Amino acid sequence: MARVLVGVKRVIDYAVKIRVKPDKTGVTTDGVKHSMNPFDEIAIEEAVRMKEKKLVQEIIAVSCGPTQAQDTIRTALAMGADKGIHVEISGAEYETLQPIHVSKILAKLAQEEKADLVIVGKQAIDDDCNQTAQMIGGYLDWPTGTFCSKVENNNGELTITREIDGGLEVIKMKMPAVLSTDLRLNEPRYATLPNIMKAKKKPIKKMTPKDLGVDFAARIEILSVEEPPARKGGVILPDIDTLIGKLKEAGHV
């Protein structure tokens, strides 16, 4: 039976309206509500469902980040992951942490933990990169099913339905493999209170990137982070005729 490694990221909650720092170095994160990246909840859910179908033996949740990343791992454990690995990275290194670093860590851990499957979200809603799964696949030379909306597992052969621009696509791949989840793959469960209590007893192994021999040199320099240009205020129109008038005036119709 397969062992699954799931990558989870702690991000600013999806419902929060973010604020750009006045000094243009980034966005304000202190005192802002954080939670698990929504796509990663879907990744954990998929792994747990595979375990419930007895296709998976063990689920390992991994997060790279500061101390608080442990809360995200606990959430994954409460949803049904068996154990956690926290790769601690904070301060300046965390500021320039890129999918290239995270994917190297996950690739290394996948080998060390003898995982047959790595599942991550298709993108983190903070950096919006959409790179990690693809890069893990590249480093490990494993096939990668990106933007999955359906995964069927027949004895180590995966049939995957992917969300592509014009519709859907079906591919078949052999394990070991990497998957990235799209929104429609499943509906993640809520962790119940008893499961949250049980999760406190599950082990979380703490590591540093050095333990894994991954080079953390910054690949980018962030020159600035700014507010997008604000749209000028619009008007509420009284009726359809006025709307059509405005659209004609602007040459749209």
Footprint of another protein on 144-163 (CB under 8 A): 144, 146-147, 149, 159, 162-163
Within positions 66 to 95, which residues make up the interface with another protein, using CB under 8 A?
none
Q: How far apart are CA 246 and CA 240, in angstroms?
A: 10
How many residues appear in the chain?
253
Report, in Å, the least distance between residue 19 CB and another protein.
Answer: 9
Q: How many CA atoms lie within 13 A of 65 on its CB side?
A: 16
Q: Counting contacts by CB under 8 A, is residue 246 touching another protein?
A: yes
Instruction: Out of 98, 205, 211, 216, name the contact with another protein by CB under 8 A.
Output: 98
Report, in Å, the least distance between residue 203 CB and another protein.
Answer: 26
Cβ closest to another protein, residue 8 vs residue 42: 42
Within positions 15 to 54, which residues make up the interface with another protein, using CB under 8 A?
15, 17-18, 20, 27, 39
Within positions 101 to 130, which residues make up the interface with another protein, using CB under 8 A?
103, 107-108, 111, 122-123, 125-130
Dihedral over Cα of 32, 35, 40, 41: its sign:
negative
Give SS3 for 28.
coil
Q: How far apart are CA 50 and CA 2, in angstroms?
A: 9
Instruction: Out of 58, 94, 173, 202, name the contact with another protein by CB under 8 A.
Output: 173
Long-range contacts of 26-31 (CB under 8 A, 24+ apart): 26/95, 26/222, 26/225, 27/225
Cβ closest to another protein, residue 94 vs residue 139: 139
Q: How far apart are CA 46 and CA 230, in angstroms?
A: 39
Long-range contacts of 26-34 (CB under 8 A, 24+ apart): 26/95, 26/222, 26/225, 27/225, 34/10, 34/68, 34/71
Quick one: which segment of 55-63, 65-73, 168-176, 196-204 binds another protein (CB under 8 A)? 168-176
Q: Counting contacts by CB under 8 A, is residue 219 touching another protein?
A: yes
Instruction: Out of 67, 90, 95, 170, name the contact with another protein by CB under 8 A.
Output: 170
Q: Contact at 8 Å (CB) between 137 and 108?
A: no
Quick one: which segment of 13-21, 48-56, 82-90, 198-206 binds another protein (CB under 8 A)? 13-21
Report, in Å, the least distance between residue 110 CB and another protein.
Answer: 10
Report, in Å, the least distance between residue 93 CB and another protein.
Answer: 14
Q: How far apart are CA 161 and CA 184, in angstroms?
A: 11
Q: Contact at 8 Å (CB) between 173 and 167?
A: no
Cβ closest to another protein, residue 57 vs residue 245: 245
Per the structure block, which two tokens stand in for 108?
Answer: 């290394």
Q: Counting contacts by CB under 8 A, is residue 204 touching another protein?
A: no
Give SS3 for 140.
helix
Report, in Å, the least distance between residue 111 CB and another protein.
Answer: 7
Other CB atoms within a 10 A radius of the CB of residue 189 amount to 15
Number of residues that bind another protein (CB under 8 A): 82
